[in-house]
Amino acid sequence: MTKRVIVLTIVIIGLLGGLGFVLYNQFFFGRGDGQELGRLGEIKKRGEIIIGTDATYPPMESRDEQGNFSGMDIDIAREIASDLGVRAKFKNIIWEEIFNAAKNGETDMIISAITITKERTETLAFSDPYFNAGQVIVSAKDKKGIISGPKDLKEYRVGVQVGTTSEEEARKYTGNPSLVNTYENYDLAKEDLLQGKIDAIIIDYPAAVGMVAGEEKLQIAGEIFTQEFYGIAIQKDQPALLSQINKSIRRLKQAGELRRIEEKWLGQ
Ligand code: ARG
């Protein structure tokens, strides 16, 4: 064989190898430029994950006067961003619009004390559960002994945030739909409760603790009466992003880090 033939053979092998590599990537990943990661690829490229939350739900999520976000969900979201190696950018979104903001891509994920429900999983993908919450009643202390469980609510005016699982419970237990008062957020419901315009509020337990904290006149009435699990929601069909989020949740659970975050915000 002449030198020329040898060189040519090497070049051809090289070209075939390159072509094979490109085809392989095409086949397995659609394209070789990060496209296979979908939304996760975009997040990494951007260097930032956009997180939607309705920050009116302390100690899960709230904002101070300067607009800084804080809470248990905020800490969890920050851990996820840091595992991804990107910045966490929080966006305040009212509850009524939060699911759409995840669906239409305005946010990459939403974390907002969101109960995983069958209905919601039809249009969004949920992470593994990260918290077991349940609902309770908040009422004025002068209703002590009168309202001590959901069955006592039949004749009372009940306030809830519109579109929450609490609204569903309120409709179940009140005797008349006109007794259910829906609000854009729980701050508004609380105002009405303090003014005696409603008799009770149904709300998740952690947020109930937040609501009665430092309030002379309010109390948690009775026991937790539902079992619900919080999850992080993202667009459907984003397996790469979902599995990264679940990886972070698993890490936080295993390392006892989730416990630590819970204790920081909710106490023992
Ligand atoms: N867990 C309830 C639900 O998913 C209420 C959540 C309200 N969250 C909030 N950040 N306001 O329907």
> 85 CA distance to ligand 1 centroid (A)?
28
| CATH number reported for the structural domain that contains residue 176 in this entry | 3.40.190.10
Q: Is residue 248 part of a domain?
A: yes
pLDDT digits (tens, 9 = 90+) for 54-111: 999 999 999 999 999 999 999 999 999 999 999 999 999 999 999 999 999 999 999 9
pLDDT of 5 reads 72
Ligand 1 within 6 A of CB of 112? yes
pLDDT digits (tens, 9 = 90+) for 180-192: 999 999 999 999 9
Could you give the C-alpha distances from 195 to 116, 144, 189, 222, in angstroms and in order?
33, 17, 10, 22
State the total domains in the chain.
2
Atom of ligand 1 nearest to the CA of 73: 10
Mutate to test the pocket of ligand 1, among 119, 201, 204 (most ligand atoms within 8 A of CB): 204
Domain check: are 106 and 235 in the same one?
A: yes
224: alpha, beta or left? (left if phi > 0; alpha if psi -120 to 50)? beta
Element containing residue 39 per DSSP (H, E): helix 39-46
Domain check: are 171 and 88 in the same one?
A: no
Range of the domain at 105: 38-132+230-266
Domain check: are 43 and 154 in the same one?
A: no
Residue 215's CB is within 10 A of a number of other CB atoms, namely 14
Domain check: are 156 and 202 in the same one?
A: yes
Give the dihedral of Cα atoms 183, 185, 191, 197; nearest 10 deg: 20
Domain check: are 235 and 113 in the same one?
A: yes
Q: Is residue 75 part of a domain?
A: yes
Domain check: are 116 and 239 in the same one?
A: yes
Structure-token pair, residue 257: 């880090």
Mutate to test the pocket of ligand 1, among 164, 169, 187 (most ligand atoms within 8 A of CB): 164
Q: Is residue 16 part of a domain?
A: no
Confidence (pTM): 0.87
> 115 CA distance to ligand 1 centroid (A)?
7
Instruction: Please say if the pLDDT value at position 12 is more than 80.
Output: no
Q: Is residue 241 part of a domain?
A: yes
Domain check: are 128 and 143 in the same one?
A: no
Ligand 1 within 6 A of CB of 135? no
Domain check: are 113 and 43 in the same one?
A: yes
pLDDT digits (tens, 9 = 90+) for 132-173: 999 999 999 998 889 999 999 999 999 999 999 999 999 999
Atom 12 of ligand 1: nearest residue by CA position? 164
pLDDT of 3 reads 75
> For residue 268, which amino acid is it?
Q
Domain check: are 83 and 106 in the same one?
A: yes
